[in-house]
């Protein structure tokens, strides 16, 4: 299990690649973001995105899953207070294979919550051409191994 | 249809309430964010969130759907370059009923993309007690009614 103390600045966790299947993209869009370019190939081609494209929220949720599988699922994560920013830099098109990494930017113990630490990550999701499609920074709370700060 | 010109500063769009059903929360978490507090009531009670709680990404995706239903589904939206920030301010617990609003902060024509305008929104999602649970700002591209800027 990864505790707060394991997230040293600069440590990097690489993702396992995930293929963006058209059926998954359409199912997500149908439930949460039913805009034409996320639901239909022809509408996507007519849009500025250039084809059937994933909702940015779908790409972000897949990114969460890649973080989970890369390290957070084997950690003392207590959730996140939010996202500092999320840039959707390029369209994610049907069949794209996404991968990427999370890297520790900063780690500090919480002043208000004893026994917890806050880790800020930079997360980059890239496509099969190595182009960044979504770049974000977010903070996550983890339990500390040492309950008392020395 | 709502074009760029319809998004005057200060204009507010109210959401239709959505209930966060435990089965939906668990299904989303199972696919995208399988952390114990998002999958299991008992694990949620033991966590700092205090009960079975929605993944922040689920709350955000539901927020997208509420934006869609409130105005974006009847607009010339061309997608979003990203989120300026997203603060998950309080846990969203099973059975919570979410509502809220999007308000236009700023609207300007794109310099690089003729015929498009960029609208920045503040989005607040609140629970049944009126407490903000997720607050964000994001930009969305819309087609302009007037192709040429006067």
Half-sphere exposure of B74 (CA within 13 A, CB side): 9
C-alpha distances in Å from residue A84, one per residue of B80, B85, B136: 16, 5, 10
User: Helix, strand or coil for residue B61?
Assistant: helix
Residues whose CB falls within 8 Å of the CB of residue B110, separated by 6 or more in sequence, listed in order: B116, B117, B118, B141
φ/ψ of B4, rounded to 5, equals -45, -45
The distance of A87 to chain B (nearest Cα, Å) reads 4
Please report, to the nearest 10 degrees, the dihedral formed by the alpha carbons of residues A106, A110, A116, A118 taken in order: -20
> What are the sequence ranges of the domains in chain A?
4-143
Expressed in percent and rounded to 5, the helix, strand and coil fractions of chain B are 30, 35, 35
User: pLDDT at residue B147 above 80?
Assistant: no
How far away is chain A from the Cα of B9, in angstroms, using its nearest Cα? 23
Query: Is it true that domain A4-143 has CATH number 3.30.360.10?
Result: no
Are B53 and B91 in contact by the 8 Å Cβ rule? The answer is yes
Say how far apart CA A40 and CA A3 lie, in whole Å: 43
Question: For B73, which of A34, A55, A79 is closest by C-beta distance?
Answer: A34
ipTM of the complex: 0.95
pLDDT by residue (tens digit) across B19-72? 999 999 999 999 999 999 999 999 999 998 999 999 999 999 999 999 999 999
Q: Which of B49, B61, B86 sits opposite A83 (nearest CB)?
A: B86
Tell me how close the Cα of B98 comes to any Cα of chain A, in angstroms: 14
Question: Global pTM?
Answer: 0.96
Interface check for B84 against chain A (CB to CB < 8 A): the answer is yes
- Residue B146 has what pLDDT? 87
CA angle, B129 as apex, B125 and B131 as ends, to 5°? 45
């Amino acid at each position: 299990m990864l505790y707060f103390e394991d997230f040293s600045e600069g440590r990097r966790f690489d993702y396992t690649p995930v293929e963006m299947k058209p059926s998954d993209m359409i199912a997500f869009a149908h439930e949460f973001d039913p805009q034409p370019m996320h639901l239909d190939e022809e509408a996507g081609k007519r849009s500025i995105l250039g084809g059937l494209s994933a909702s940015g929220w779908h790409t972000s949720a897949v990114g969460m899953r890649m973080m989970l599988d890369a390290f957070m699922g084997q950690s003392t994560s207590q959730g996140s207070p939010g996202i500092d920013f999320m840039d959707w830099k390029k369209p994610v098109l049907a069949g794209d294979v996404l991968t990427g990494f999370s890297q520790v930017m900063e780690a500090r113990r919480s002043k208000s919550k004893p026994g917890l630490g806050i880790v800020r990550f930079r997360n980059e999701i890239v496509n099969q051409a190595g182009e960044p499609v979504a770049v974000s920074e977010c903070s996550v709370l983890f339990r500390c191994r040492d309950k008392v700060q020395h």
